[in-house]
Structure 1
Amino acid sequence: MKKLASVCAGLLLLLSTSVFAEDHASEALKHANAAVEHGKAGHTPLLLEHAKAALEDALAASIVAKSVAKNHLDAGAKELQEAIDQGTLGHVGVATSHAEAAVEHIKAGNNNKK
C-alpha cells in the first residue's frame, strides 16, 4: 500500500511540474509579445520592463522543462537577455528583433511540451 501511495505521489509531482512549466512559459510568451509591441512603438523602457519579466518566467519554465522544450526556452531566454542588453544601450530596433526571436523560441517550446 505504501508503494502505491509513493508511486501516485511521484506521478502527481511529475504532472504538476509540467503544469508549472506551462504556466511560466505562457507568462513568458505574454510578456515577450508585449516587449515586441512596445519595441515596435519605440517605447524602450516598456520593452525592457516586459523583456525582464519574460526572462524571469522563461528561466523558471526552463528549470522544470525537458528535452526540446527546455532547449527552446533556454534559447528564448538568451534572446531576451540580448533584447535587454540592446534595449539598455538604446538600440530599440535590435532589441525588438531579439524579442521577436524569443517569442518564436518560446512558442516552439510550448509546442514541444515533454
Structure 2
Amino acid sequence: MSRRFIVAMVGIGLALILLPQISLAVDEHLSQAIEFTKLAVDDGDYGRANGLAAHAETALMHAEASEKVKANPHTADAIKHLKAAIDEGRQGHADVAKTHAEAALNNLQQVM
C-alpha cells in the first residue's frame, strides 16, 4: 500500500473518532446554557435582578463555549441577549433583563 493511502486512512479514522466528541461537547454546553438561562428567567419572575445576572453569566459562558465548538446563528443571537440580560440585571432592571433572558432561551432551544 502506498504511504498516501495509509495516511489518508489514519486521517479518516481520527476524524470519525473525534466528530462524536465535538457533538457531545456542543450538546453538553447547550444543555447547561439552557438550564442556567431557565434559572435566570425564574429569577426574573421574582424580581431578583442580581440572581438573574449571575445565572445569565453562567449561561453565557456555556453558550460561548458551544459557539466556539460549532457556530450557529441562534447561539450567536442567544449570546447577544444574554449579554443584554446581564447588563440590565446589574442595573437592577429585572423585567427588561427577564425579557432578554427569555429571548436567549428561545434561541438556545432552537439549536437543540
Question: Shared fold by TM > 0.5?
Answer: yes
**Whole-angstrom distance in 1 between the partners of 2:109 and 2:17:** 25
Partner of 1:80: 82
Q: Which residue of 2 aligns with 1:9?
A: 14
Partner of 1:50: 55
Question: C-alpha displacement at 1:89, in angstroms?
Answer: 1.1
Give the match for residue 31 of structure 2.
Answer: 26
- The Cα RMSD (Å) is 1.1
Structure 2 residue corresponding to 1:91, chosen from 85, 90, 93: 93
Q: How far off is 1:14 after superposition? A: 2.1
Separation in 2, partners of 1:90, 1:72: 27
CA distance in 1, matches of 2:70, 2:19: 11
Percentage of matched positions with identical amino acids: 33
- What TM-score does the superposition give when structure 1 sets the normalisation length? 0.88
Aligned residues: 107
Residue deviations 1:12-51 (CA, integer Å, cap 9, x gap): 2222111101100000000000000011111122111100
Tell whether the 8 Å contact from 2:40 to 2:55 is kept in structure 1 after alignment: yes
Counterparts of residues 35-74 of structure 1 (less than 5 Å): 35-66=40-71, 70-74=72-76
Q: What is the identity, as a one-letter code, of the residue corresponding to 2:13? A: C
Deviation above 6 Å: which 4+ runs of structure 1? Answer: none
SS of aligned partner of 2:92: coil
Local SS of the residue matching 2:35:
helix
- Secondary structure of 1:90's counterpart equals coil
Q: Which has the larger radius of gyration?
A: 2
Letter paired with 2:89: G
Distance in 2, Cα, partners of 1:55 & 1:101: 13
Q: Which runs of 5+ in 2 are unaligned?
A: 1-5
In the TM superposition, what is the alpha-carbon distance from 1:2 to its structure 2 partner? 4.3
Could you tell me which runs of 5 or more consecutive residues in structure 1 were left unpaired when the two chains were aligned: none
